Structure 1
Amino acid sequence: MKRYSIIILTAALTAMASCTKLEQEFYSQVTPDNFFQSEKDVLAALNRPFTHARWYLGEDRWNLQEYTADNFAITTKGRHWYNGGENERFHYHRWTSDDNWIWGSWRGTLMGVALALDARSDLEKLDYTTFALTPEDQAAHVSQLNTLIAFFYLRGLDFFGGMPIFDSLEEESLPRNTDQELFDHIERLLQDALTALPKKEGGEREQGELKQAAAAAMLARLYFNAEAYIGRPMYNECMQLSQDIIDGVYGAYDLDATWFGPHDFNNDSSPEIIWSIPSEFNKLQYDWFYANFYHYNSRQYFDVDMGANNGAHLTPSRKPDSTLYANDFHLGSPYEKFHDLDLRKHPYQYLGTGNYEGMFINGPHRTPEGAVINGGEEYNGQALIFRDQVGRFSEVGPDKRYSSVEQLPSRMADGEENTGVRLVKVPIPNMAENTLRWGADNPAIRLAEIYYMLAECKWRDGDLATAATLINAVRARNFEGGNDADPVTAGNLDEYRFLDEWSTEFLGEGRRRTDLIRWNKFTTDAWWDHQASGSDHLKRFPVPTQAISGNNNLQQNPGY
């Protein structure tokens, strides 16, 4: 067996040691013949690429999707978070092929493909009946891995355009395939999986496996963004797939009755989840964002024992003088895009027994008992009050740098420890109910996305009334009694209202850059502290310097 596989399967053995009893037998190397001894070993090999997908959905990939767009930023906060200019480079669209987020995403994409190919190669060779499994089980497992390969390549196509297409790990130093060739490869993998994967039955919980609707949703995503990927719009194809998913052709799904259902501690039971990555306290936790999103002292707010680094926040809706940026920019201002009666706009508060409300931190920071939480930097010893603004407010006053807030600049360099509204989309319980911590699975694909894709396809086809109806079907749960205070109509649904709807429903779900590119706004529109570049080559990231150094057959993207 190839050396790469030995490393992978050794890692799988280590990961599974707590739940698989291994005999006292030692091997000079791990091969399919001596590794696969039971059904658990088969599932360990199948699941290894999915643990990579868990990591892949966050971290650098999320950074590229959100910090390059209009909803999130990591401002420099005094002595913190300049990070060698990294955060400013991505906000201002000045990244280079040497940037780590780009290298991490190129490498992470192809690593995911490699892990899935390796598992597929091993599982295809097995006699499943030896493990009390059926040929149908084997076909479903292989189809899951093919779908996962398509998933990684779809993200790679979105980030970089054409990438090398690997069909086995025996191939080395391949050149990049064209955008169209990679598009066609993804399409074939997903079309084949549509009939080979099982369907979800009504009431069935989502446990992380890929089913027909997941493959259909990925294929719909491919068609939805085809104009950006290959220069050919395929909205009609996306429309048909989306309608079929909603109609139950690929399994039983429905919109959740509540806004929090797809995100809460028991979201594996949400009828809206098409594919999720399981998470559990102390077991493959969905928690990568916590350290970056929250203040050093937010542990008092949540009543937890976890530290944080106070980096990321929403881009501001208001200037230092409190006037709205919406008067200057169509994009951005994510917090103020939520209606004041929207239940999601409430401050996050854990209510106990798995219940909570709201999904933002804004205004005075207090403990659950109401005690004031102080700052530790610009507001050391003073009450911590989060602002939907960026500016050095601590430097305003007599004998200070600025005499009034009207003089304050508002730039990436001007953050403070209380800068920006913080998102709490993944619920956090208190210490008394710590076993619920990170119980929410990562919802990779939701039925709400299918509704929005279908709505946008209808809108582009001129059917604005149906588009509005589809969006309102999702929006209603965000308001008390389903009474939407600002419903979408055929009259108000222009391109910017549509982008606002994508923003509010999927805020922080790692997709914003793709949406802006599809609407041709990523390089043509301005938002807070960001001027439009007008440079279309920025819709793709460069091939990383480290990748080209390791494979001189790779060609750089135009413009870099």
Structure 2
Amino acid sequence: MKKYFIYCMTAMALLFANGCTKLDQEFYSSVTPETFFKSEKDIKAALFRPFTHAKWYVGEDRWRLQEYTADNFAITTKGRHWYNGGENERYHYHRWTADDGWIWGAWRGTLMGVALALDAKNDLSQLDYTKFSLTADDQAAHLSQLDALIAFFYLRGLDFFGGMPVFDSLEGEALPRNTDEELFNHIETLLKDAITKLPLKEEGGAEEGAITKGAAAALLARLYFNAEAYIGKPMYEEAKTLAQAIINNEYGFYSLDTEWYGPHSFTNDRSPEIIWSMPSEFKKLEYNWFYADFYHYNTRQYFDQDMGANNGAHLTPSRKPDGSLYKSEFKLGSPYEKFADGDLRKKPYKYLGSGNYEGMFIIGPHLTPDGEPIVGGEEYNGEPLVFVDQVARFSEVGPGKEYSSVSELPSKMSEGEENTGLRLVKVPIPTLNENTLRWGADLPIIRLAEIYYMLAECHFRSGNAGLAAELINEVRKRNFENGNDPDPVTASNLDKYRLLDEWSIEFLGEGRRRTDLIRWDAFVNENWWDHTASKSAHLNRFPVPNEAIAGNNSLEPNPGYE
């Protein structure tokens, strides 16, 4: 068994790299860092290979576990499409199992990332940096970046599973799981040490994907912010101190973007709000999974693009089949209607040319850029498509059909149609005429708005709702013409649910919703559309995958999943 587990994880990670093989490569009888690295470029390639994995890691299965298990998104069955053996319903209803693929993908992807970062760290730590006209400080910063990246992977693993095997080298047996507290302490140690050696982000500098002092501090603040959920120990004061220091530019120079789209646009590497992002140049296909999941087969005509899609996912509905709002029944969910009227983001997405766009939703009549109707191919074959903020089989209402009136329609996961649900366009998409911009937006991992909201929640929890409201409104005001917010947060209207709404509105689709709900004890204890609370606390963690246990019989399952 020696080295088997760790090396298997590394090998699988390399398979996921989708890299190419250079046929004229030079071979060595003994490959060591000294023989492999020839220039600073080789060093940077080794350093950033684990970061490429990290960009893949924050999407796909990990994103799905964060969002499709929570209240803002769903993949409904649409006629003959998307039942998928009941998989999507299992996640929505919190009935997943240790055999489900997304869960295995999250466990595997986490340990792949750790293994890749450790492999790079092992190689770079053996180099004499002076031979490459680099300094010992450069080497320390590179190694600290990798430590912080390991902490990032483990932090996500702690969030998903609790304790995981902690390893600090690629030498060793298949390891058992460490406890939640041991993993928490390992992450804390890595980040605290990295902060002392990482450089500050320069004022006005572009984000290039490296982990700076501010990014490591923000990750540590995240750890403390969710510590009560992770290890049963509230650490909001520690999170508050770090968040305030980041806002005070003690860990680098950051400021809120003045435009709502700034942190997500084609030039978001220049946004002063970005604390850490993944450059799109690493692998420009990383957003394709999101496009395929969310958009209709014919939405390429809406974008004037050539990409295919599967028409699966959408926002959970804000309205019942009869058009009335769900807000009287559920405090959570209804993501679209949580945006105030007049919010610039609430407009339909429209590409304006030259990298400019407005809105971030697909809603209402589906039209080409020239205003021509786009027709359906399933329930509305040959008919103009109209996307609705509802889930129901409207095509089955009428004389001789399943339902005689809309009032009879059920609304649940099994009742979708091809036009069901609003679609999010958080990442801008240009027309084919400007296709060089496609997926040019970097992927934000941490932005300053999160730190403002973190600080606001910490103040709210300590009894200062007024200051919490001020911090949230500092972010909200950019979403309205001339900053005229029709529904600002106040000390009197701020409670648990308004805070969760604000997290939902600002970070919709950014892969964090489940974590926010768990922090407020809402993930298993609150109802939302077609979801009844399980009241089962063990579901705040996912099971250790059976596939992982099969490959490492020293792993213990999570409580409740035995």
Pairwise same-fold verdict (TM > 0.5): yes
Letter in 2 for 1:186: I
Q: Is the 8 A contact 1:8 1:115 kept in 2?
A: no
How far apart, CA to CA, are the structure 2 residues paired with 1:160 and 1:152?
12
Matched residue SS, 1:313: strand
Aligned residues of 2:75 and 2:312 also touching (Cα < 8 A): yes
* CA deviation after TM superposition for structure 1 residue 117, in Å: 0.5
The residue number in structure 2 matching 1:290 is 291
The residue aligned with 2:451 is: 450
- Counterparts of 1:97-496 in structure 2, within 5 Å, are 97-280=98-281, 283=284, 285-496=286-497
Counterpart-to-counterpart distance in 1, 2:208 and 2:155: 22
- After TM superposition, give the deviation of residue 35 of structure 1 in Å: 1.3
SS of the residue 1:350 aligns to: strand
Distance verdict in 2 for CA 1:109–1:269, change over 3 Å: same
Q: 1:385 to 1:209 in 2, by over 3 A?
A: same
- Secondary structure of the residue aligned to 1:73 is strand
Q: Distance in 2 between matches of 1:30 and 1:352?
A: 50
Q: Which residue of 1 aligns with 2:68?
A: 67
Q: 2:52 touches 2:282 (CA, 8 Å); kept in 1?
A: no
Aligned to 2:545: 544
> Is contact 2:52-2:283 (8 Å) kept?
no
Partner amino acid for 2:411? S
CA distance in 2, matches of 1:277, 1:398: 54
| CA-to-aligned-CA distance 1:16-73 (integer Å, 9 cap, x gap) | 989xxx9863334643232111111111111110010010000000000000000000
Letter in 2 for 1:300: Q
Letter in structure 2 aligned against 1:468: A
Partner Cα separation in structure 2 for residue 136 and residue 254 of structure 1: 27
Shift of 1:284: 5.3
Counterpart CA distance in 1 for 2:290 and 2:530 is 24
Per-residue Cα deviation, 1:485-536 (whole angstroms, up to 9, x for no partner):
1100000001101100000000000000000000011111100000010000
**Which amino acid in the other structure matches residue 93 of structure 1?**
H
Aligned amino acid, residue 475 of structure 1: R
Matches of 1:13 and 1:378, distance apart in 2 = 39
| Residue type of the alignment partner of 2:541 | R
Q: In 2 relative to 1, CA 515–13 (structure 1 residues): closer, same or farther, beyond 3 Å? A: closer
CA contact (8 A) 1:16 1:44 kept: no
Question: 2-side partners of 1:251 and 1:284: how far apart?
Answer: 30
Matches of 1:58 and 1:555, distance apart in 2: 27
Contact 2:453 2:471 in 1 (8 A): yes
Going from structure 1 to structure 2, the CA distance change for 1:140 and 1:418 (only over 3 Å counts) comes to same
Query: Which residue of the partner structure matches residue 503 of structure 2?
Result: 502
In 1, Cα distance between the equivalents of 2:104 and 2:94?
16
Larger displacement relative to structure 2 (29-38 or 291-300) = 29-38
CA, structure 1 residues 125+527, in 2 after alignment: closer, same or farther (shift >3 Å)? same
Kindly state the Cα deviation for residue 331 of structure 1 after the two structures are TM-superposed.
0.3
Is this contact kept in 2: 1:9–1:45, CA < 8 A? no
Change (3 A) 1:105 1:9: closer
Letter in 2 for 1:406: S
Secondary structure in 2 matching 1:344: helix
CA distance in 2, matches of 1:142, 1:275: 17
Aligned-pair distance for 1:10? Answer: 8.3
- 8 Å CA contact 2:12–2:112 kept in 1: the answer is no
SS at the partner of 1:325? coil
CA contact (8 A) 1:66 1:512 kept: yes
The amino acid across from 1:154 in the alignment is L
Query: Which TM-score applies when normalising by structure 1?
Result: 0.97
Q: What is the match of residue 52 of structure 2?
A: 51
CA distance in 1, matches of 2:480, 2:230: 37
1:258 partner SS: coil
Q: 1:556 is matched with which residue?
A: 557
Question: What's the RMSD between the two structures over aligned residues?
Answer: 1.9
Q: 1:297-347 CA deviation, whole Å, 9 max, x = no partner?
A: 000000001110001000000000111111100000000000111000000
CA distance in 2, matches of 1:253, 1:286: 26
Contact 2:13 2:112 in 1 (8 A): no
User: Alpha-carbon deviations, 1:257-280, whole Å to 9, x = none?
Assistant: 000000000000000000000114
Distance 1:74 1:440 in 2: 25
Deviations 1:223-272 (A, max 9, x none): 00000000010000000000000000000000000000000000000000
Aligned length: 556
- Work out the CA distance in 2 between the residues paired with 1:37 and 1:223: 41
Residue deviations 1:448-490 (CA, integer Å, cap 9, x gap): 0000000000000000110000000000000001111110000
Cα distance in 2 for residues equivalent to 1:502 and 1:419: 24
Whole-angstrom distance in 1 between the partners of 2:177 and 2:72 = 32
Question: What's the offset of the Cα at 1:8?
Answer: 9.1
Q: Per-residue CA shift, 1:127-185, capped at 9, x if unaligned?
A: 01111111111000000000000000000000000000011011221110000000000
CA contact (8 A) 1:67 1:74 kept: yes
Conserved in 1, the CA contact under 8 Å of 2:77 and 2:83? yes
Give, in whole Å, the separation in 2 of the partners of 1:259 and 1:154. Answer: 28
Gap runs ≥5 in structure 2: none
Aligned to 2:78: 77
Aligned partners of 2:85, 2:167: CA distance in 1, in Å?
35
Residues 516 and 282 of structure 1, relative CA distance in 2, 3 Å threshold: closer
Return the alpha-carbon distance in structure 1 between the equivalents of residues 380 and 282 of structure 2.
33
* Structure 1: 5+ residue stretches without partners: none
Mapped to 1, the partners of 2:549 and 2:61 lie a distance apart of 19
Query: In the alignment, is the contact (CA less than 8 A) between 2:13 and 2:116 conserved in 1?
Result: no
Measured in 2, the distance between the counterparts of 1:281 and 1:184 equals 31
Structure 1 residue ranges (4+ consecutive) displaced by more than 4 angstroms after TM superposition: 2-18
Q: Is the 8 A contact 1:10 1:30 kept in 2?
A: no
Determine helix, strand or coil for the equivalent of 2:190: helix
SS of structure 1 residue aligned to 2:276: strand
Judging changes above 3 Å, is the alpha-carbon distance between structure 1 residues 284 and 417 closer, same or farther for their aligned structure 2 residues? Answer: closer
